[in-house]
């Protein structure tokens, strides 16, 4: 029997860290087995700025995903974002020693490896080398050169570059959390895999992923990635503005934004007011929803204009580069009321909200198909492509609570499974209170040792 290809994606965001375990079902759709989510501490604008806190947040998300799914995570594909990301266009070629032989994958690999050796600015590292059109002996616009004849193989490339230290910090957080790093993917690329269809990528589309700390952009045309950019503003700056403008605490500002916020101030009447409880017995504050929308509107306009400037850099006004499928908004910021209309108003381009349900199995949880999880779903898809066995099924007796999980699954037991369920119930019922199984003790002592190891590792690093 073939081993299940269980894939794991880890989205290290500025506001949240999501660990997602999934596999492909028999229809080729993505089935999510478990999700773990934790508040992201130690990440600012997509970049790790506190290793210890990030490790704790990663471990929390991973433990929750393992408990939800019943799988033990071994390795993950991680998303990379942050204001240090930039992209460049580059052309390169190789001369083949035998033009009479057909071009194979090894030739394309040789060309890509050659591009990887490009000299970058000090402290920078190449994350992705993405081939665009190929040229063979001067014949241009070739999308798939494998199987063709030719002596000179040439291609234009879209190269994504990032800061080496930021990438290494992410790697260190992963390994210190007790798992391996199986791959790095640029977050806008992961999001685009989750929310865009192949037709949209062919027609020309700009994906805008509005996260907590950054807004990511990926532009596709003719099925090929043409432009990527990371803008260092996101939902958190909007919350910060509300906090300052209304003189309230951050938690209240976030709640106001989510519940009553709108990117279009015209729709709120002057007499619509929200009362915010005062801190420690102080008088409650009354905030006009019209003023709230004005604060949000001003910042969202700034973010969208910066993204639009990047779309202009790509050259969307050129008839050959036209974005026929328009703009797709995703990420947590896409849930802001009337943001779609505002984007259409500023850019003049058709816009829709992107949900990652394009590739998800029909029985998926409604929460997972929210724009919030677009990057995590894309990272799981990326991990599936790598065909890594990223997680293994846990044995029932490794974690005693798993028995309860088994019991809950069979709400209406059929005659065949009734007997095992009865035994499982007995095991739990007969267990003396306060007693600890040997497995739990072993697990505890292992975890204690592991935590000590991390401490030593971090102490020595200093």
Task: Examine the pLDDT at 447 and tell me if it is beyond 60.
Answer: no
Query: Is pLDDT of 445 > 70?
Result: no
Q: Average pLDDT of the chain?
A: 84
The CA-based angle 81-86-92, given to 5 degrees, is: 125
Q: What is the pLDDT of residue 427?
A: 35
Q: What is the pLDDT of residues 291-318, one digit of tens each?
A: 999 999 999 999 999 999 999 999 999 9
pLDDT confidence of 412, banded at 50, 70, 90?
A: very low
Asked whether residue 33 carries a pLDDT value surpassing 70, the answer given is yes
CA distance 75 to 181: 6
Cα R_g (the chain), whole angstroms? 25
User: Whose CA is closest to 261, among 279, 301, 221, 288?
Assistant: 288
High-pLDDT (> 90) share of the chain, %: 61
Q: Report whether 205 contacts 259 (CB < 8 A).
A: no
pLDDT at res. 168? 92
| Residue 148 pLDDT | 92
Residues 150-206: tens digit of each pLDDT: 999 999 999 999 999 999 999 999 999 999 999 899 999 999 999 999 999 999 999
pTM, two decimal places: 0.80
Confidence class for position 266, pLDDT limits 50, 70, 90? confident
Backbone angles phi, psi at 35, to 5 degrees: -130, 135
Question: What mean pLDDT comes out for the span 399-412?
Answer: 41
Cα–Cα nearest to 301, from 366, 347, 254: 347
């Amino acid at each position: 029997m073939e081993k299940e290809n269980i894939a794991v994606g880890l989205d290290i965001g500025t506001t949240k860290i999501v660990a997602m375990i999934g596999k492909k079902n028999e229809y080729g759709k993505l089935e999510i087995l478990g999700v773990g989510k934790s508040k992201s501490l130690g990440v600012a604008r997509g970049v790790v700025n506190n290793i210890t806190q990030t490790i704790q947040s990663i471990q929390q998300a991973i433990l929750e995903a393992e408990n939800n799914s019943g799988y033990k995570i071994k390795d993950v594909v991680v998303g990379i974002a942050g204001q240090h990301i930039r992209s460049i266009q580059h052309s390169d070629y190789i001369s083949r020693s035998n033009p009479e032989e057909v071009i194979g994958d090894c030739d394309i690999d040789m060309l890509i490896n050659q591009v990887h050796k490009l000299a970058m600015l000090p402290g920078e590292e190449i994350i992705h080398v993405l081939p665009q059109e190929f040229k063979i002996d001067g014949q241009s616009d070739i999308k798939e050169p494998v199987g063709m004849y030719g002596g000179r193989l040439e291609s234009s490339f879209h190269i994504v570059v990032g800061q080496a230290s930021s990438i290494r910090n992410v790697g260190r957080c992963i390994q210190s959390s007790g798992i391996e790093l199986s791959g790095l993917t640029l977050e806008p690329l992961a999001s685009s895999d989750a929310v865009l269809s192949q037709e949209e990528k062919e027609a020309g589309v700009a994906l805008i992923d509005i996260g907590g700390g950054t807004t990511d952009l990926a532009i596709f045309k003719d099925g090929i990635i043409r432009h990527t950019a990371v803008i260092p503003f996101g939902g958190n700056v909007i919350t910060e503005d509300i906090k300052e403008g209304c003189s309230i605490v951050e938690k209240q500002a976030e709640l106001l934004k989510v519940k009553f916020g709108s990117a279009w101030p015209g729709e709120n009447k002057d007499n619509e007011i929200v009362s915010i409880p005062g801190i420690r017995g102080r008088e409650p504050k009354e905030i006009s929803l019209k003023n709230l929308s004005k604060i949000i509107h001003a910042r969202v306009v700034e973010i969208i204009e910066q993204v639009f400037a990047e779309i202009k850099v790509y050259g969307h006004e050129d008839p050959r580069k036209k974005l026929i499928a328009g703009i797709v908004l995703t990420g947590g910021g896409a849930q802001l009321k009337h943001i779609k209309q505002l984007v259409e108003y500023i850019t003049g381009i058709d816009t829709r909200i992107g949900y990652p349900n394009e590739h998800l199995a029909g029985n998926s949880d409604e929460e997972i198909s929210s724009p919030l999880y677009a990057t995590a779903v894309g990272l799981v898809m990326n991990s599936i492509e790598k065909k890594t066995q990223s997680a293994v099924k846990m044995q029932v007796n490794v974690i005693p609570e798993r028995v309860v999980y088994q019991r809950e699954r069979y709400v209406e037991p059929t005659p065949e499974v009734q007997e095992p369920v009865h035994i499982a119930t007995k095991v739990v019922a007969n267990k003396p209170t306060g007693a600890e199984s040997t497995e739990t003790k072993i697990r505890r002592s292992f975890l204690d040792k592991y935590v000590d190891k991390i401490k030593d590792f971090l102490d020595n690093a200093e």
